């Protein structure tokens, strides 16, 4: 490539190829380069964007820069390499976002005797236990017949 053709190429193309002291060189004039996004901003060259909080990366194929983001379930934490969701053991739950990398013990909550969650089951239990407990005595007083298989 002669100097004249090199200069002519640089006027019509953003690429300039030259050989200086036996070394090949390719220069790019960024001001002449037009990108598809219609901006003067150079697009980033990435295969996959970073995953949002609470998601892990599942690598696609052999390229470690290409992945799919998968959301962990509500009972799972993100392991150290951010590539697997690991379930928390029983009695624990994940820390809240953004970290979501530690399993914390569930708080212990005891039921009070005056709570409606305790009173209602006790009343139904008593209603069921009383007839069963006193049924033999009622039958002996009234002469209840029992089923005999013979």
DSSP 64: T
Q: Would you place residue 138 in the very low, low, confident or very high pLDDT band (cuts 50, 70, 90)?
A: low
Under DSSP, is residue 100 helix (H, G, I), strand (E, B) or coil? coil
How far apart, in whole angstroms, are the C-alpha atoms of residue 19 and residue 21? Answer: 7
Residue among 111, 94, 112 nearest 103 (CA): 94
Structure pTM? 0.45
Question: What's the pLDDT tens digit per position in 45-101?
Answer: 677 788 887 788 888 877 677 888 888 888 898 887 778 889 999 999 888 766 778
Query: What is the pLDDT at residue 146?
Result: 58
Query: What is the pLDDT at residue 90?
Result: 93
Question: What's the pLDDT tens digit per position in 29-44?
Answer: 777 777 777 666 777 7
- Asked if the peptide bond before residue 74 counts as cis, ω within 30 degrees of 0, the response is no
């Amino acid at each position: 490539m002669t100097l004249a053709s090199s200069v002519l190429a640089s006027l019509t193309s953003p690429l300039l190829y030259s050989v200086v002291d036996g070394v090949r060189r390719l220069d790019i004039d960024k001001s002449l380069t037009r990108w598809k996004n219609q901006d003067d901003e150079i697009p980033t060259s990435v295969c996959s964007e970073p995953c949002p909080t609470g998601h892990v990366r599942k690598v696609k194929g052999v390229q470690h820069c290409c992945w799919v983001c998968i959301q962990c379930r509500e009972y799972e934490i993100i392991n150290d390499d951010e590539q697997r969701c690991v379930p928390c053991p029983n009695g624990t739950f994940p820390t809240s976002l953004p970290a979501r990398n530690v399993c914390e013990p569930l708080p212990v909550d005891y039921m009070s005797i005056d709570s409606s969650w305790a009173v209602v089951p006790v009343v139904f239990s008593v209603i069921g236990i009383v007839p069963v407990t006193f049924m033999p005595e009622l039958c002996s007083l009234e002469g209840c017949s029992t089923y005999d298989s013979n």
